[in-house]
Structure formats: structure tokens, C-alpha cells
Chain A
Amino acid sequence: MKRELPLFITAVVGLLMILSFFVPHQAVSVPSDFLQQCALILRAFGYVLGGVNVLLVNFDGIYKRQPGWVYKIVLVTTLIATVVVGAVEGPGFLNPHTRSKWIYDNIYSNMQATMFALLAFFIASAAFRAFRIRTTEAGLLAVAALIVMLGRVPLSNALTNWLPEWARLQSLQEWIMVFPQNAAKRAILMGAALGVMATGLRVILGLERAYLGGED
């Protein structure tokens, strides 16, 4: 029963959710809405589980003096401090002039933006290191990438303004985006959507059981 019961629940709930797309009647829509609300609540409670694991893993690392254990102390301290400050400040914890807002504006926002900004450096180094034209297809890809990349910026307007409109980088870039890129993107999206259906069906039918763990 340990595996059969979860598989049965998965099958019933999965089929109900598929049915709710076709059957507007309250006999189906009310339970499916209820299940969606339950999912929201479950996901929120899951954060408690995750938080406990963060503390366990990092306390263990600090106790065993694993490499970088000092940073684990920083992590645990800041985690507890942020949670306590937010809890003390209550529902309006992100209102102007609260401590949580200060943490958000001066630490969290800036660190997020900094991490995202690293992408600019990595894109340049990846372009130099790894974008190699070894085949005809790679060559076509490189040409298209260069046209789109250069056509998106105003410097290209300035450089190719003297050309007829169809030949300017901006126009070529738009044509690539609207026609070949669109066609390829739609094809990949459709294929991926079919893959989603196939995986979902395997989970609903109980063919895919790896996520349950334990013996087969």
C-alpha cells in the first residue's frame, strides 16, 4: 500500500485536473479549485521543511569545521536575523522605513543585481572561448547571431543608415526574429509541449515511479 496509495492518488487527481479543463460543471470545477488551493498551502508549508534543512546542513558543517565554515556562520546568523526582524515587524514588514525594508533595499536588491550583472562578463568570455564555427550549420548560426546581436543596438542604426532600408542591420534583425526564428521556436515549443504531455501521462498512469523512492 505504501506505493500503491500515492500512485492511486496521483492518478485520480491528475485525471480530475485534466477533466476540469473540459468540464465546467461544479461537480468537477469545485473540487479542482479546492485542490489548487491545497497545493498553494502545501507549498507554503514546505518552506518550513526547507528552512530546517538549511539549518541542519550548515550547523553540521560548522560543527565539523568543513572548508568555509566561517561563511556558514554568516549564513545562519543572517538567516535567523532576517526571519526574526521580519516576524517582529509583522504584516507591514516591507513598508517604508522598516528594518526589513532596509535589508531589502540595501542588501538583497544590490546582491541580486550584482549576481545578474556577472552574466555580462561570462557572456563575453563564453563567446571568445566556446562559440566556434566547425560546421556549415554553426556558420549560419554565427551569422544570424551576429546580425541579431548587432541589429538590436542603436550603434547599428548609425553605421548602416546609408544602406537601403531592407539592407540595414535593424531590418535584417527584425526579419530573422519574425520569420526563421519564430518558425524554429514554435517547432521546439510544440515538441516540448508534447514531451510535457508524455511525462505527465507517465506520472498519472504510474509508469514513472522514480520520484516515489523505495523498492519497486
Chain B
Amino acid sequence: MPPIEARPRADATGGSRKGRMRARVAVLSLLFGVVLAVIPAPAPAAPAEAPLPPSGLIWHDIPNDAGRAVALEWKPSPQDSVHRVTTYVIERATSPGGPWSFVDSVAAEAHAKRDQSVHRDIEYFYRVTAAGPGGRTPALSITGPVIAKSEWLNRTRWSVMVAIAMFFAFVLWFIAQAQTGKKPFVRRIPGIDAIEEAVGRATEMGRPVLFMPGIRDINDIQTVAGLVILESVARLTAKYETPIAVPVAYPIPFAIAQEAVKSGYLHAGRPEQYDPMSVRFISPEQFAYVASVTGTIMRERPAAHIFMGAFYAESLLLAETGFSTGAIQVAGTANVHQLPFFVVACDYTLIGEELYAASAYLSGDPRLVGSLKGGDLLKVAVIIAIIVGCLLETTNHHWLTQWMKTQ
């Protein structure tokens, strides 16, 4: 504050305006200084206190696991709702006295946490600490010993186990029936019957057969189904002495395709005609595979194209290119979103499970056909479950839905 200086009063008879201004400023400054001297300065803020501790920490073992998780719950700090708590810190030790290691932290207002880093059958002790701007306050007690146990059965998957048990039972029953000489009836599948027609046509035209077992790796069951069909097709091509070309996208199906084609020639009694170069590894890259196969189609002009397996965006590229060469085309896939393209562009299409039925249908083996019947019977059971389930839900009974929920 500038010092207040007294100034001589202006002459009474004609004192200057400036002088009167200065006097007013001086008086106001004096008053301001008095006010500041009287009112005390605000005291510095007192340091915030640490929040009150949480309490009531309880635990339970997470069920249906391999003993790798426990669930913790606690009662919040009484000061949780007034924002004195920002986080709860969970710590763990293998003995009541520590040493404590940090597990995790959760935001205030959360009062539960799963610890998924425990080892089974080891005793742990837990404590929860409330942390806030004023510091940390551990709970007044610790909880333990906490032991995570490994379980032998996931009880939430009963419904799946029942369905699989029913399926196994149906299939084994029909296989046993088939072994007594009773061959179950299977309706005609025109797409599969067309395979022999396609191979025959290729033989007449003196051009090869092109077979694609899909563009997925062996972990996709459609590729397995495709490779099984390949063995039957190879038998036909061996019987008719027609060349076969099999471009494959992945290395393991490539090795299996070689075995399948060799086996087909062997079973047809023509092992000497087997050409190892008929099966070619192309590329796991989708469009590199497509570019290679469409190039093969345009150059070698196979008369029959058989697409059996998992296909994606390349399905229409292959089918339209094949159509432009005048080939007969038979396709089968369980990739529902590609079915429309095959249906439109190919002469015959196997839809969904018809692809999986093809191997049983082609071989005619009663045991394989029996497995088809088992699957069909389980489908009837599923339909009944859907109808019953819808009725129960409509009448507000939820036990079937709850039982079928899995984790």
C-alpha cells in the first residue's frame, strides 16, 4: 500500500480541482487501510483428514473355475458418499502380518472386486484400504485365510452336457442299429448326386476336375468335411481316368488333401495314376488364393468345379469366373452368408448341414448314415425344447431358460 502523504490544503479562495481529487483519494486510501487492519486475514486451510476405514470384508471362492479367482466384498467407508474417499486399495499377503502386496484398486462407490491372480490351494489374507485426498486408512481388520479351490465340474453347463449326452446316445444307438443290418433312410441330396455327373461330364470333354476344399484351415470342420468328400471325388476321377486339380489354401489341409487324393486312387485300384502335383498349396491369403484359382480356371478350363468347404467373399468371384468358362459347378458350404451367391451362380448347392452329410451319403456306410439320424433326432429334441421354452416364457415360468444359461 502506498504511504499516505498529507498535502497542504488548497487556497480557500480558489483551491484547484486536482487538489480536491488528491484529497479524496487520500481519504479513501486511509479508510481502506483501516478496514484491512481490522478484518483478520483468512487462516490457511487445515490439512484434510484421512477418510474413515471400510469394514466387513468378506470373501467367497468363485465357483466353476480352476481355483484362480476369489470374490471380495466390503462395506464402504462411512465417508464414501461425502467424497472423502477416491479409491479402495486391495492388498494381499500370505500371512496375517504381511508383507502386503498390491492387488488392485477400485474407484470409490465400488465395494466388490474379483482377484483373478491367486494360486489355488494357497492361503491368502486380504485387507482393504480407503484412500482419499487426506491420506489412506486401512480397515481395522484383515480377512483370511482365503483359499481358492479348483472344481471338477462347471455346474452352469449342465444343459450342454445333457444335450451332448443325448446326442452321443442317439448316434451310438443308430450306429448299433446299422451294425445289425438295418440301413437308415436318408433322402436324396441332388447336389451330391450331381458330383458324379460333373466328373462324368469332365471325362467326356477330356478336361480336368477342379476341387476346392474351402479356404479355411483344418480347425474348421467344413474343411474336414470337404477333404472327406475329396477322397470320394478322387476315387471317381481315378475310376474315369480324369485329371484332378486341388488348390489348397493352408499347409495342413494341403498335406491331408495329398493323402486323401492318394487314398482315392488307391481305393479305385489306380495308384500309379496318382500325380502328387495335382494337389497344390497356393496361399492362406484370401485374394491371392482367388487370383491363383481364377487364373487356373481361365487357363486350364476345367469342365467341372466342385467347391466344398468354407468360403467367404471369393465365392462369387470363383462361381462367376467358373460360369464364364461353361463348367458345371457344384458347391457346398455352411457359411450362410455365401449361400445366396452359390445358389445363384452354381448348378447345384449343398446348404449348411448337407455338406456335413455328404461324406456319409457318398460312402453309404450304415454307421456314418446312423450318425446323420442321431443328429436329426437331436434336432427334433431342440425343436421341442424351443416350443416348450416359448410356452413357459409366455406363462412367466423361467426355470428352463435359467437352466440353459451357461457361463
Contacts and interface: CB of A to CB of B under 8 A. Distances in A.
Q: Do chains A and B touch in the complex (CB under 8 A)?
A: yes
Contacts of A24: 64-66, 150-154
B102 to A, nearest CB: 26
A42 B219 CA distance: 12
B228 A46 contact: no
B353 A192 contact: yes
A211 B356 contact: no
A41 interface: no
Interface in A15-58: 18, 21-26, 29, 39, 42-43, 46-50, 53-54, 57
A199 B225 contact: yes
B313 A116 contact: yes
Contacts of A9: none
A36 B323 CA distance: 41
Contact of A46 (B252, B356, B359): B252
A92 interface: no
Nearest to B290: A115
Interface in B318-351: 319-320, 323, 334, 336, 341, 344-345, 351
Contact of A214 (B219, B259, B285): B259
B164 interface: yes
B252 A43 contact: yes
Contacts of A165: none
Contact of B154 (A23, A47, A71, A131): A23
Contacts of B227: 210-211
Contact of B356 (A48, A130, A196): A196
A161 B280 CA distance: 55
Contacts of A176: none
Contacts of A115: 287, 290-291, 317
Interface stretch (B3-11, B181-189, B365-373): B365-373
A208 B352 contact: no
Interface in B153-168: 153-154, 157, 160-161, 164, 167-168
A197 interface: yes
Interface in A120-169: 122-123, 125-127, 129-131
Interface string A92-128: 0000000000000000000110011011001101110
Contacts of A199: 221, 224-225, 356, 359
B285 to A, nearest CB: 8
Contact of A126 (B231, B250, B266, B341): B341
B208 to A, nearest CB: 13
A200 to B, nearest CB: 6
Interface string A164-198: 00000000000000000000010011111011111
A194 B378 contact: yes
A194 B379 contact: yes
B351 A188 contact: yes
A207 B259 contact: no
Given A24-B64, A29-B66, A210 B353 contact: no
B238 interface: no
A49 B260 CA distance: 17
Given A49-B254, A53-B254, A188-B352, A25 B281 contact: no
Contacts of A194: 167, 353, 375, 378-379, 382
Contacts, number: 194
Contacts of A73: none
Contacts of B150: 24-26
B263 A210 contact: yes
A192 B352 CA distance: 5
B256 interface: yes
A210 B221 contact: no
A213 B262 contact: yes
A119 B314 CA distance: 8
Contacts of B316: 119, 122-123, 126
A211 B260 contact: yes
Contacts of B266: 214-215
A196 B313 CA distance: 22
Contacts of B283: 54
Nearest to A56: B277
B368 A197 contact: no
Given A24-B154, A29-B66, A53 B167 contact: no
Contacts of B313: 116, 119
Contact of B344 (A29, A57, A131, A208): A131
B251 interface: yes
B355 interface: yes
Most central of B152, B161, B375 by chain A CB within 10 Å: B375
B120 interface: yes
Given A195-B353, A195-B355, A53 B281 contact: yes
Interface in B252-307: 252, 254-256, 258-260, 262-263, 266-267, 277, 280-287, 290-291, 295, 299
Contacts of A42: 252
A22 B157 contact: yes
A153 B372 CA distance: 42
Given A50-B281, A200-B221, 4 more contacts: A54-B280, A57-B277, A198-B356, A198-B375
The list of the 8 closest CB pairs from A to B, nearest first, reads A213-B259, A46-B251, A195-B356, A195-B353, A50-B251, A115-B287, A210-B231, A213-B263
8 contacts: A130-B344, A188-B336, A189-B336, A190-B379, A195-B353, A198-B375, A208-B359, A214-B259
